[in-house]
Amino acid sequence: KYTKFSVFYYWIDSRGQTTSISRKLENVIIPSGKENTTATLSYDYRIMPLENMFSTGTYYCRVEWNDIQQSGKGVFVLARGTGYVETSYGWEILITLTALLATLSITATALFLWKRQ
């Protein structure tokens, strides 16, 4: 009963729209002596390079037997356009702090020398 099943791959975009990716029909042959035991099969599915940023969404796998459906938890994929650079303000903050401290140091030194005279 459970040797014939279908494997579906689909994704749900940010608007909640479901798009089918792939469907495979499987017929697993059970070796002699392995009847009535639990078997685990792995199925790898590679998502080819995403066409655009609109491929962002959660990707799912669903298996259907005659009267049973099981879905995976899904994997969220965030697609970004080419050339995107994560912004980092580390260097800007360091340069600003250094310039501010240098200015204060020069000003304090000038005031100290001026007071001495």
pLDDT of residue 26: 85
Give me the phi and psi of 40, to 5 degrees please: -115, 130
Is the overall model pTM greater than 0.85, yes or no? no
- At residue 20 the predicted structure's pLDDT band, cuts being 50, 70 and 90, is confident
Q: Mark whether 71 and 98 lie in a shared domain.
A: no
Is residue 82 domain-resident?
no
Which residue range(s) make up the domain with 40? 4-77
- At residue 30 the predicted structure's pLDDT band, cuts being 50, 70 and 90, is confident
Contacts of 110 (CB under 8 A, 6+ apart): none
**Domain count within the chain:** 2
